[in-house]
Amino acid sequence: MVKTDFGGEGGVKQSKGRNWQRILLPVVGLLLITASGIIAYILSTPVANFLRANLAAFPRENTQAVQLAVAFAIFLILIAIFGTIYASIVPKPPKGITETELDKEKKDKLLEAERAKRRKRDMKNRMREQRKK
pLDDT in tens, 6-30: 555 555 556 566 677 677 888 888 9
pTM of the complete model: 0.56
> Looking at residue 58, what is its pLDDT?
81
Q: What CA–CA distance (Å, rounded) separates 78 from 63?
A: 23
pLDDT score of 116 more than 90? yes
pLDDT band at 56 (very low <50, low <70, confident <90, very high): confident
| Phi, psi at 5, each rounded to 5° | -95, 125
Beta bridge partners of 3: 14
Query: E-strand spans in the chain?
Result: 3-5, 12-14
pLDDT in tens, 121-132: 999 999 988 888
Q: Do the beta carbons of residue 74 and residue 40 sit within 8 Å?
A: yes
Beta bridge partners of 5: 12
